[in-house]
Amino acid sequence: MSTSQVEKFEFQAEIRQLLDIVIHSLYTDREIFLRELVSNAADAIEKFRHLHLTEQQVFDDRLPLEINITTDDTAKTITIQDFGVGMTRDELIQNIGTIAHSGSKAFVKALAEGARKDVNLIGQFGVGFYSAFMVAKRVKVYARSWHLEGTGHCWTSDGSGSYEIEEAEGQRRGCKIVIELKDDCHEFAGASRVKDILKRYSSFVPFPINLNGEKVNTVQALWLRSKSEIKDEEYTEFYKYQANAFDEPRLRLHFAADAPLAIHALLFVPKDNPERLGWGRIDPAVSLYCRKVLIDAKPKDLLPEWLRFLKGVIDSEDLPLNISRETLQDRSLVEKLNKIVTGRFLKFLEDEAKNRADAYNEFFKTYGLYLKEGAATDYTHRAALSKLLRMESSAFAKGEFTSFADYVSRMKDGQKEIYFLCGPNREALESSPYYEAFKLRGLEVLFLYETVDEFVMGHLREFDGKTLVAADSADVKLDDMPPPPADNALTDEQAKDLCSWLKDTLGEQVTEAKASDRLVDSPAMALAADHMSGHMRRMMKAMSEELGNEPVKVTLQINPRHPLVIGLAGLRTTKPDLASLVAGQVLDNALISAGLLDDSRPMISRLNKILEAAVK
Ligand code: ADP
Ligand code: MG
């Protein structure tokens, strides 16, 4: 049998595109290729360690779990070898070549959109291996799988469209990657340069790394050490390594507990929220360890969904060491871990909010959406989460935050409810007719601007025993107050007449028309008859066609002190046609304020007629 038969393969199109960019347009930070290859080596060893717990028979059983790097300054090569799981021929084709990871496309897109071609991100997109081509003329991957049967293979490519695979006898288990360096990359064949890079990026790799036979990292589990011994820089370096990140963490929580479970946890909140940067939903990434052994790098249900922005490590010696990723499913232990860690993290945020309010508010601006999501969906932690929410309020200037608890502390004697208004921005809410009555009475209203807010408030329903009430809902009952003084205000009788005429004129869209003492500066306001706000209606509409076609029905409240309303009462007899046009427009204006007007186009011809009358 011939062992030297060479097979040639084309790279899949998306990978070709990726390689083209990697080779021809990435010239900064090229050193990160080493971080990526070392991280792959560490992953492969980690996989082997797991597999070794369950598989009886593995190839090359006694190899040390370590990574060996050698540089050759004469041949201008650098070699990275690991004794991990290795790859079979088919795996070589699958993992590095033919089948594109979804990440290759996403990475190319991110590069194209980014202001700066940030190659640092490559690892996060699951295409780190290809970074080798930033520095390589040619890459050779010698691979031997852990399976007893089979043989080794050598994968070779210069990155320009195709690669070759041939059998290679005499390989140790794992992978050996030999990089022939490009002419302008010879620095990476120099031991001291490589040592610096390894120190910089790979100090936390949990396996020994030897450079030309000499160990360069101190294998340590930072999270098991005591807080007082750890410097900030060490934490940051660890974060960067562990989260594949290049920013500084925004918040950090390191704690140990003994009961009810022995836990060491080190958690980070990254500076930026990638979902906000438009990268789509992120996967949870807090790794689960048992006595320094990685059990699962991205366990799905270790923490609640709304904590998916956290990075870091949870280590519990109470987990059985041979717990597999699959058996993680049925596990009261993991639930306990979840409860303890989530509880601690919430307590931590509470302390942050108290002791470092400004930093906490910044955190909230970036991550508030997750806390809102939790408050709405996670009943267990709802109470704690609702304390952590921040929002603007009529009691403070734009840009300042308050909390429910602070609102409650400012509530007037006898006030039983917490009032809020949802809308696109501060200006819109402050000038909305719904706010007028509250302003007049000196009642504080919370202002909320995010699409989810209404949904969240609807789920929270109350805080500290006080009901949350939307200021634009029909349920609002405010204390009687003498209506604000006005010249020529309509009498009760006149107002009643006008209202019944309005109801007749406006047709079935208006279920009721009545005079209101809530209004100050606006002529009218619309309250949805079905208690559904404009916001909510649009959400429902997006989900169901049927609802969208049903015209909204409202109660129309008019302001008998407003000159427009006073005028309209008279116009009714002098110019009935114009009066009904004006009435229609008053209704539409109120619907716009309420966010309830679905289509504003029919309004144009009416407005033109009214304008015509105005300029006559
Ligand atoms: P990622 O590491 O995020 O999966 P990479 O592009 O770095 O993406 O690697 C692609 C795949 O190639 C890995 O998922 C793995 O299956 C395989 N691979 C890379 N390096 C090694 C190695 N040293 N040993 C075994 N498999 C490897
Ligand atoms: Mg990788």
Specify whether 57 is located in the same domain as 179. yes
The answer to whether residue 513 is domain-embedded is yes
Q: Which domain range does residue 136 map to?
A: 7-215
87 CB within 6 A, ligand 1: yes
Q: How far is the CA of 128 from the centre of ligand 2 (A)?
A: 5
Report how far residue 267's alpha carbon sits from residue 248's, in angstroms, rounded to the nearest whole number: 13
Report how far residue 196's alpha carbon sits from residue 71's, in angstroms, rounded to the nearest whole number: 13
- Output the DSSP codes for 497-532: HHHHHHHHHHGGGEEEEEE-SS-SS-SEEEEETTS-
32 CB within 6 A, ligand 1: no
The answer to whether residue 607 is domain-embedded is yes
80 CB within 6 A, ligand 1: no
84 CB within 6 A, ligand 1: yes
- pLDDT tens by residue, 131-143: 999 999 999 999 9
Least confident window among 198-207, 419-428, 600-609: 198-207
Q: How far is the CA of 63 from the centre of ligand 2 (A)?
A: 22
67 CB within 6 A, ligand 1: no
Least confident window among 2-6, 93-97, 329-333, 435-439: 329-333
46 CB within 6 A, ligand 1: no
- Index of the ligand 1 atom closest to the CA of residue 123: 3
The answer to whether residue 500 is domain-embedded is yes
Q: Cis peptide before 299, with omega less than 30 degrees from 0?
A: no
Query: What is the four-CA torsion angle of 603, 604, 609, 610, rounded to 10 degrees?
Result: 70
What is the pLDDT averaged over residues 103-124?
Answer: 73
Q: How far is the CA of 91 from the centre of ligand 1 (A)?
A: 10
Looking up tokens 């952590």 gives 388
- Among 178, 196, 215, the domain boundary falls at 215
**What six digits make up the tokens of 296?**
């699962």
Residue 1 is predicted with a pLDDT of 47
Indicate the number of domains in the chain: 4
Ligand (nearest to CA of 143) = 1
Nearest CA to ligand 1 atom 4: 126
Task: Write out the residues surrounding ion ligand 2, Cβ under 5 A.
Answer: 40, 128
Ligand (nearest to CA of 177) = 1
Q: How far is the CA of 95 from the centre of ligand 1 (A)?
A: 7
Specify whether 27 is located in the same domain as 49. yes
Picking from 443, 451, 479, the residue whose alpha carbon sits closest to that of residue 373 is 451
Report how far residue 143's alpha carbon sits from residue 171's, in angstroms, rounded to the nearest whole number: 7
287 strand-pairing partners: 313
State the alpha helices, DSSP H only, in 243-356. Answer: 332-355
82 CB within 6 A, ligand 1: yes
37 CB within 6 A, ligand 1: no
Q: How far is the CA of 114 from the centre of ligand 2 (A)?
A: 21
- Among 215, 248, 263, the domain boundary falls at 215
The answer to whether residue 398 is domain-embedded is yes
Cβ-based neighbours of 245, under 8 Å, separated by 6 or more: 239, 270, 311
Question: 285, 303 in Cβ contact below 8 A?
Answer: no
- pLDDT tens by residue, 76-91: 999 999 999 999 999 9
What is the pLDDT averaged over residues 557-572?
Answer: 94
For residue 178, give the CATH number of its domain. 3.30.565.10
Nearest CA to ligand 1 atom 8: 126
How confident is residue 119, by pLDDT bands cut at 50, 70 and 90?
confident
Specify whether 119 is located in the same domain as 174. yes
**pLDDT at residue 412 tops 60:** yes
How confident is residue 122, by pLDDT bands cut at 50, 70 and 90?
confident
- pLDDT tens by residue, 493-505: 999 999 999 999 9
- Index of the ligand 1 atom closest to the CA of residue 126: 3
Ligand (nearest to CA of 41) = 1
Substitution candidate for ligand 1 out of 11, 40, 68, 173 with most atoms within 8 A of CB: 40
Residue 175 is predicted with a pLDDT of 98
**Which DSSP letter does residue 604 get?**
H
Q: 63 by DSSP, 3-state: which?
A: coil
Q: How far is the CA of 107 from the centre of ligand 2 (A)?
A: 13
Nearest CA to ligand 1 atom 19: 40
- Output the DSSP codes for 334-397: HHHHHHHHHHHHHHHHHHHHHH-HHHHHHHHHHHHHHHHHHHHH-GGGHHHHHHH--BEETTS-
Specify whether 100 is located in the same domain as 203. yes
Least confident window among 98-102, 257-261, 380-384, 387-391: 98-102
Q: How far is the CA of 195 from the centre of ligand 2 (A)?
A: 20
**pLDDT at residue 534 tops 70:** no
Ligand (nearest to CA of 46) = 1
Specify whether 202 is located in the same domain as 242. no
The answer to whether residue 479 is domain-embedded is no
Distances (CA, A) of 579 to 208, 218, 227, 502, 584: 86, 85, 75, 10, 9
The answer to whether residue 114 is domain-embedded is yes
- CA 513 distance to own-chain centroid: 45
Picking from 377, 294, 384, 291, the residue whose alpha carbon sits closest to that of residue 342 is 384
Specify whether 91 is located in the same domain as 171. yes
**pLDDT at residue 10 tops 60:** yes
* Percent of the chain scoring above 70 in pLDDT: 92
For residue 551, give the CATH number of its domain. 1.20.120.790
How many CB atoms are closer than 10 A to CB 434?
25
The answer to whether residue 465 is domain-embedded is yes
How many CB atoms are closer than 10 A to CB 472?
27
**Which DSSP letter does residue 11 get?**
P
**What six digits make up the tokens of 477?**
């009952």
292 strand-pairing partners: none
**Which DSSP letter does residue 222 get?**
G
Distances (CA, A) of 111 to 25, 102, 103, 119, 345: 10, 15, 12, 8, 34
Report how far residue 325's alpha carbon sits from residue 305's, in angstroms, rounded to the nearest whole number: 18
How many CB atoms are closer than 10 A to CB 420?
23
How confident is residue 147, by pLDDT bands cut at 50, 70 and 90?
very high
The answer to whether residue 161 is domain-embedded is yes
- CA 174 distance to own-chain centroid: 36
Nearest CA to ligand 1 atom 12: 95
Ligand (nearest to CA of 44) = 1
Report how far residue 202's alpha carbon sits from residue 37's, in angstroms, rounded to the nearest whole number: 10
* Percent of the chain scoring above 90 in pLDDT: 62
- pLDDT tens by residue, 166-223: 999 999 999 999 999 999 999 999 999 999 999 877 877 889 999 999 999 877 789 9
139 CB within 6 A, ligand 1: no
Question: 273, 310 in Cβ contact below 8 A?
Answer: no
Ligand (nearest to CA of 131) = 1
Strand order in the sheet with 510-515: 510-515, 554-558, 524-528
81 strand-pairing partners: 68, 176
Specify whether 137 is located in the same domain as 228. no
Q: How far is the CA of 36 from the centre of ligand 2 (A)?
A: 5
**What six digits make up the tokens of 603?**
């309004």
For residue 465, give the CATH number of its domain. 3.40.50.11260
Distances (CA, A) of 372 to 27, 64, 125, 458: 42, 48, 28, 12
Question: 444, 478 in Cβ contact below 8 A?
Answer: no
Specify whether 200 is located in the same domain as 78. yes
**pLDDT at residue 414 tops 90:** no
Specify whether 459 is located in the same domain as 528. no
129 CB within 6 A, ligand 1: yes
Specify whether 405 is located in the same domain as 311. no
Specify whether 283 is located in the same domain as 395. no
What is the pLDDT averaged over residues 552-560?
Answer: 90
- Output the DSSP codes for 170-204: SPPSEEEEEEEE-GGGGGGG-HHHHHHHHHHHHTT
Question: 451, 533 in Cβ contact below 8 A?
Answer: no
- pLDDT tens by residue, 315-328: 998 876 555 555 55
Q: How far is the CA of 126 from the centre of ligand 1 (A)?
A: 8
- Among 170, 200, 215, the domain boundary falls at 215
For residue 349, give the CATH number of its domain. 3.30.230.80
**What six digits make up the tokens of 115?**
């202001």
Specify whether 569 is located in the same domain as 425. no
155 CB within 6 A, ligand 1: no
Report how far residue 158's alpha carbon sits from residue 454's, in angstroms, rounded to the nearest whole number: 56
